[in-house]
Structure 1
Amino acid sequence: MKQTFQELITYLKNPVLEKDNNTNLNYRFTKFIHLLIICIITSGLIMPLFYLIEYLGLVDMEKHAMEDMMKTLSKPMVFFFAVIVAPLVEELIFRGPITLFKDKNSFKIAFYSFAIIFGLVHITNYNITTNVLLLIPLLIAPQTILGGYLGFIRVRFGLQWSILLHACYNAFFMIMAFAGETV
């Protein structure tokens, strides 16, 4: 996993349009699991910041779009939208076009731009207030970083792998949310 993390960090510092030619399924599945764990750990490291933001009364996390969905839709429907619909649609929009940028410089700009726009789109999950606007960089950090991770696997292994990683990432957090409700 350390090697995968180092590859990921090196890639994020200088993204290039270069596929991983190792098509061995065991190799790819191992890298996939490593990336999923890295995604989850990254979110876990950022999460205390959100607790602090809420504790300080800067943003009411109860007014988050996911909280609204959890209150108005059945668990299977929330799971379906979060784990199937969102990853499919978002990956087609934000990772699908990345490989169209063949020039080295335009690829790098596109890679970072799609990751940032992916993060910015998620600001709509919040009720827009002055505090939310001021805290945008922090509030979208998890999605922006995830966008970079998803871009990495998309370029290296293909679009289907970024869709799968996105779906598994969302599924993990949906299962945690559902488990937290019963406690």
Structure 2
Amino acid sequence: MVEYRACCDTSYADLVADPCILGVFPLLMNNISKGNTPNLRFVIWTSSAFFGMIHMGNYTYFDYSTHFYWVPLMVGAQFLVGLVLSYIRLNHGMKWAIIFHAVYNAVLVIPAIYFYEP
């Protein structure tokens, strides 16, 4: 039997982040298309917040309804990583931000794979 849950399952992260992105991104693009330059602080803080919300999807087996008080900590950690990536991107370039993101993920994922016991 084929299980379609992965493609059809809607997570809490999707329910929170998607409307935010779909609401703010068109407003930002409309502002830019009128010739206005966006406020850099707004862009950094907003993109870091979106980075944190999008990465809530990493916690697939987390029950948000009973442990909702952990959500600020989970999003806060990813939000800080988003700020660090923004700093690296602005001061050192996109290549170094991508490399940092890959190394950061590897530091977290490799031990998880190594110590995983089914």
**TM-score where L is the length of structure 1:** 0.39
**Matched positions, count:** 82
By how many angstroms is 1:136 displaced? Answer: 1.8
CA distance in 1, matches of 2:86, 2:80: 10
Match of 2:50 in 1: 117
Match of 1:136 in 2: 71
Match of 2:110 in 1: 175
Q: Give aligned-pair identity as a percent.
A: 27
By how many angstroms is 1:132 displaced? Answer: 4.4
Return the structure number with greater helix share.
Answer: 1
**Equivalent residues of 2:85, 2:97 under 8 A apart:** yes
Give the secondary structure class of the aligned counterpart of 1:181: coil
* Runs of 4+ with deviation above 4 angstroms: 100-103
CA shift in 2, pair 1:181/1:130, >3 Å: closer
Q: CA RMSD in A?
A: 2.6
Match of 2:14 in 1: none
CA distance in 2, matches of 1:175, 1:151: 24
Match of 1:154 in 2: 89
By how many angstroms is 1:111 displaced? Answer: 0.4
Give ranges in structure 2 of 5+ residues lacking alignment: 1-5, 7-31
CA distance in 2, matches of 1:174, 1:147: 18
